[in-house]
């Protein structure tokens, strides 16, 4: 997936305030049951992330580690975490190099 087009949409919603089915585009990231998922194809709110039948629509992001969408580096010490900086459209991963944790651009 091209990380240049990630768009954090917040918690997964099936319907908007007017009762219309929510529409998600490729690269939309949602939070559902404590996990973050990215849409890998256009889909609607009726396609729930985390459901095995929807694996070709939603992909879990950084399963087992953190995924952050924010401008400032996260305060974390878990190697493998991912950080997407929306102002620069750059994705980083946290690595442990000689007991020093550093963010590396992907």
Return the pLDDT at 64: 46
Same domain, 56 and 78: no
My answer on whether 12 and 55 are in the same domain is yes
pLDDT for res 36: 83
In whole angstroms, what is the distance from residue 38 CA to residue 94 CA?
Answer: 20
Answer whether 0.85 is exceeded by the pTM.
no
Q: What is the pLDDT of residue 63?
A: 47
Domain that holds residue 91: 67-105
pLDDT per residue as tens digits for the range 1-37: 445 567 888 899 999 999 999 999 988 989 888 788 8
Same domain assignment for residues 13 and 31: yes
**51 and 77 part of one domain:** no
Q: Count of domains in the chain?
A: 2
Q: Are residues 80 and 39 in the same domain?
A: no
Q: What mean pLDDT is predicted for residues 82-95?
A: 88
Do both 45 and 83 map to the same domain?
no
Same domain, 55 and 73: no
Token pair of 61, please?
A: 């992001």
């Amino acid at each position: 997936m091209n990380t240049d087009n990630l768009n954090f949409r917040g918690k997964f919603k099936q319907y908007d305030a007017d009762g219309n089915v929510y529409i998600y585009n490729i690269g939309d990231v949602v939070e559902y049951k404590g996990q973050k998922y990215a849409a890998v194809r256009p889909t609607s709110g009726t396609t729930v992330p985390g459901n095995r039948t929807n694996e070709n629509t939603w992909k879990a992001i950084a399963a087992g580690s953190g995924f952050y969408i924010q401008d400032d580096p996260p305060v974390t010490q878990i190697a493998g975490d991912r950080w997407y900086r929306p102002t620069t459209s750059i994705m980083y991963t946290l690595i442990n190099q000689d007991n020093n944790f550093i963010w590396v651009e992907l």
